[in-house]
Amino acid sequence: MRLIEKIVAWFDLRLQLGAPIGDIAKHQVPRSSASWFYVFGSAALTVFILQIVTGILLALIYVPSAGEAWDSLQILNHNVALGWFIRALHGWGSNFMVAIVLIHMVQVFLFGAYKFPRELTWIVGVLLLLVTLGMAFTGQILRFDQDAYWGLGIGASIVSRVPLIGPWAVRLMLGGPIIAGVTLSRFFALHVFVIPGVLIAFVGVHLLMVLKLGVNEWPMPGRIVRRATYLQEYRELTHKDGVPFVPDAIWKDIVFAAFVLLSIALCAVYFGPFGPSGQPDPTIIQTAPSPDYFFLWLYALLSYLPPSAETPILLIGPAIAIVVLLGLPFFAGEGEKSWKRRPIAVLVILLLAVGLGALTHLGTYTPWSPVMNAWSSLPIPSAYLRGRTALERRGALVFQAKQCHNCHPR
């Protein structure tokens, strides 16, 4: 024991981290905030750490090559000890992370935690949600099976509809005019390096602001947020009725995080990893690509939209939603926090839950043939096709021939 203490003291003398860590552990939070309703942020962080660890293990075997990616996943599933389990942990961890981040944002919204002075905390949280969805999408593409191939085609079709920069953005996204080996390399770099780096940066800023501004107090009805008095009122609250984060609040975070990890492990054991399904073949255009559950609502929405409404809704709808989310604390930064006195906020959440839930359910069985040819009008130089595999050349011909049809049930 003395040896451990000496080692810790040796490092602390040089790193000077003991005092800051102690201050973080002992920082005061309102007693009402040491609640089971406040455990989702720490659970999301725990699952993110799980994703990093399992992602590193998978990257040791996975080959980001169009010709070898599918085979490397088969090797992980069948030839590497516990490889299937690591893949399943990573896949189910992604699903749980998206779900927990969404639940956390709903809780923050209903508890009014986006109001002054936590506007920037909310904005970073919105960006974290978008980046998390980006991680989920790029991870699905790395399976590079039939679903991933055509799912990427759908994504490229949506991107190509952006005015002015659409064709350029698709070439940047795919690494050329068609889905090829360089496409998988780009998505591997995004999924393993770029997006995790952005996530880590945002998580760091998010945690820093939570520590500096404190944990949002329980939204008592009648407790009004006013910019002139809130900070003083919050300091008085934590002084009179505050508890140290460690150990009074952290034990609930630990218990819930352990429950989430156990749930992920049980899902991994029972359901196994996601795919890969059949090898990608661009000549099979009569296919029904099935995205992961957090994109099923979009899958179903596109299935039932008339062709004339697809592009406006795809481009304008998400842009408006993001602007509203980012601007929310600026036009509703003061006033009542309690959801009991904010019926419109509760109604919005209920409508979104019912709508997205219904579309997600429909997406589990709605067959459709998506428009994949939005970028096929771009010229494909003959020099680009030289040196490509037969599969890639066939894919280019399929896209160029515009053999896919509208996004409607067959």
Model confidence at 231, pLDDT cuts 50, 70, 90, reads very high
Please determine, for residue 288, whether its predicted confidence score (pLDDT) is greater than 70.
no
Quick check: 259 and 125 in contact, CB under 8 A? no
* Rounded Cα gap, residues 69 and 278, in angstroms: 12
Q: Which of 37-41, 107-111, 147-151 has the lowest mean pLDDT?
A: 147-151
Report the range of poorest mean pLDDT among 10-19, 98-107, 239-248, 277-286: 277-286
**Per-residue pLDDT averaged across 290-312, rounded?**
80
* Weakest mean pLDDT among 71-85, 151-165, 356-370: 356-370
Q: The tokens of 64 are what?
A: 């980001």
The pLDDT tens digits of the residues spanning 11-46 come to 988 888 888 888 888 889 999 898 999 999 999 999
Residue 53 in this model has a pLDDT that exceeds 70? yes
In the chain, what are the domain boundaries?
A: 37-401
Out of 108-117, 123-132, 285-294, which region has the weakest mean confidence (pLDDT)? 285-294
pLDDT the model gives residue 410: 36
Whether the per-residue pLDDT at 263 is higher than 80: the answer is: yes
pLDDT at 152: 85
What pLDDT digit, counting tens, does each position of 353-388 carry? 999 999 988 888 765 544 444 444 444 554 444 555
Residue 340 is classified by DSSP as G
Three-state DSSP string of 240-304: HHEEEHHHHHHHHHHHHHHHHHHHHHHHHHHHCCCCCCCCCCCCCCCCCCCCCHHHHHHHHHHHH
Is residue 397 scored above 60 in pLDDT? no
The pLDDT, as a whole number, for residue 379 is 47
Q: pLDDT tens for residues 341-358?
A: 999 999 999 999 999 999
Percent of the chain surpassing pLDDT 90: 55
- What's the mean pLDDT when you consider all of the chain? 86
Is residue 181 over pLDDT 60? yes
Are the C-beta atoms of residues 85 and 271 closer than 8 Å to each other? no
Check: CATH 3.40.50.300 for 37-401?
Answer: no
Of residues 90 and 401, more confidently modeled: 90
DSSP secondary structure code for residue 369 in this structure: -
Question: In sequence order, what are the residues at sequence separation of 6 or more whose Cβ sits closer than 8 angstroms to the Cβ of residue 259?
Answer: none
**Average pLDDT over every residue of 246-271:** 96
Give the pLDDT confidence score for residue 406 in this predicted structure.
38
Query: What's this model's pTM, rounded to 2 decimal places?
Result: 0.87
